[in-house]
Amino acid sequence: MHTRPEGIDLAARSRARRRALQALYAWQLSGSHMNAVIEQFRHEQDMEVADLDYFEDLLHGVEQHVAELDAMLRPYLDREVAEVDPIERAALRLAAYELKHRLDVPYRVVINEAIEVTKRFGADHGHSYVNGVLDKLAGELRAPEKRG
């Protein structure tokens, strides 16, 4: 059973993930340096109520580990990573990073948050695709937690 660390604002983390998804989308399309993307998003109004440290950790983590994340996702995709819808690709990379590198976040939270942001910003059935891929990846990366 995972317990939430003291002082973690779950709503602020959800907002950070939503903004991180949008920032990753912008990063993927623009090819800009991640620091420039973060700076652009940092000044937006709703960032005041997001967990800014978590937002930056997610973005720098995805940027730093993107090749590793894509390699982890590849066996569970039905197409090349570059061919995945950009919103779905951003959600998958974000969640893969959390599953691999943020063990303080329960895998169910990672998957549910990825589904929610994909429902909000992605194509009609994109969330089903994201769910299927992440469920398999969680089985690999979080097997003990998933069995427990």
Q: What's the pLDDT tens digit per position in 6-24? A: 668 889 999 999 999 999 9
Residue 1 lies in a domain: no
Q: Residue 71: how many CB atoms within 10 A of its CB? A: 12
Closest CA to 139 of 128, 131, 147: 147
Q: What is the mean pLDDT of residues 125-145?
A: 96
Closest CA to 98 of 67, 129, 65, 71: 65
**Residue 43: pLDDT band with limits 50, 70, 90:** confident
Residue 111 lies in a domain: yes
Residue 41 lies in a domain: yes
Residue 18 lies in a domain: yes
Residue 5 lies in a domain: no
Residue 81 lies in a domain: yes
Residue 92 lies in a domain: yes
Residue 3 lies in a domain: no
Q: What is the CATH number of the domain that holds 74?
A: 1.10.940.10
What pTM was estimated for this model as a whole? 0.91
Q: What is the mean pLDDT of residues 138-147?
A: 92
Count of structural domains within the chain: 1
Range of the domain at 124: 10-147
